[in-house]
Amino acid sequence: MLAATTLKFMADLAKHNNKTWFDANRDKYLAVKEDFEGVVTGILSGMAANDPAYKEINAKDCIMRIFRDVRFSKDKTPYKTNLGAGFSKGGKKFMGAGYYLHIEPGGKSFAGGGMWMPEAPMLKAVRQEIDYNYEEFTGITESKQFKKLFGKIEGEQLKKLPQGYTADNPAIEVLKMKSFTAGHNFTDEQVTSKGFEKKVTEVFAAMSPFVDFLNRAVS
């Protein structure tokens, strides 16, 4: 589980998102970083029990930097107000589908995954895989377990039809998507409760058929 002090630090950071405050509280941040690394390590251990490939991944391969890239953003606040980790067999920089953990106070934490804004060739391949195997795809995304944990897949959609597809295609609403993601929300109490790491591992395991389908398209 995550320490309650970690959530408190992130809530305080959201109120004081500047370098002066961060530098004055760097010791607290280092404790937060260590705490989050411990949680991610525990999740990786659970994932490795189902897939030995994750034995080769460590927490630092997964955890996102807290520093924002503000070069092309109007928002110049220097720090992210959440903790994030990407889980895949290639680490956080893997370009295919994977799993993601987002920790943010105020009930904004979630565990999920999929494929977010893939580049054109990859997106084209995923659309083709869904078009050719739509029954298999809906068998995953419409299953009782998937709908219970994640509701439905989400992603920004094109306003027009994707090239090569017609409006009468039964998969057209999915084919219009530019991302294919899903998530399961956690309350602050759940995040800081015993068994949180196991629950995240279970969520990822339930999502694995969805992630595997997307990755098959681009393998």
Is 61 a residue whose pLDDT tops 80?
yes
Q: Are 128 and 166 in contact (CB under 8 A)?
A: no
Is 29 a residue whose pLDDT tops 80?
yes
Rounded Cα distance, 1 and 192, in Å: 5
Is 71 a residue whose pLDDT tops 90?
no
4-218 carries CATH number 3.30.930 = yes
Q: Are 108 and 82 in contact (CB under 8 A)?
A: yes
Q: What is the mean pLDDT of residues 143-150?
A: 96
Amino acid at 140: I
pLDDT tens for each residue of 166-178: 999 999 999 999 9
CA neighbor of 198 nearest in space, from 135, 111, 137, 132 = 111
**Which pLDDT band, with edges at 50, 70 and 90, does 68 fall under?**
very high
Rounded Cα distance, 145 and 143, in Å: 6
Q: Domain-by-domain residue ranges, the chain?
A: 4-218
Q: Are 142 and 196 in contact (CB under 8 A)?
A: no
Q: What is the mean pLDDT of residues 70-81?
A: 90
Q: What is the mean pLDDT of residues 81-89?
A: 94
Q: What angle do CA 88, 99, 203 make, to 5 degrees?
A: 125
Two tokens at 104?
């943010």
**Which pLDDT band, with edges at 50, 70 and 90, does 144 fall under?**
very high
Secondary structure of residue 45 in the 3-state scheme: helix
Rounded Cα distance, 205 and 72, in Å: 36
pLDDT for 74 equals 87
Two tokens at 103?
């920790």
Mean pLDDT for the chain overall: 95
pLDDT for 94 equals 77
Is 132 a residue whose pLDDT tops 90?
yes
Tokens 């080769």 — which residue? 56
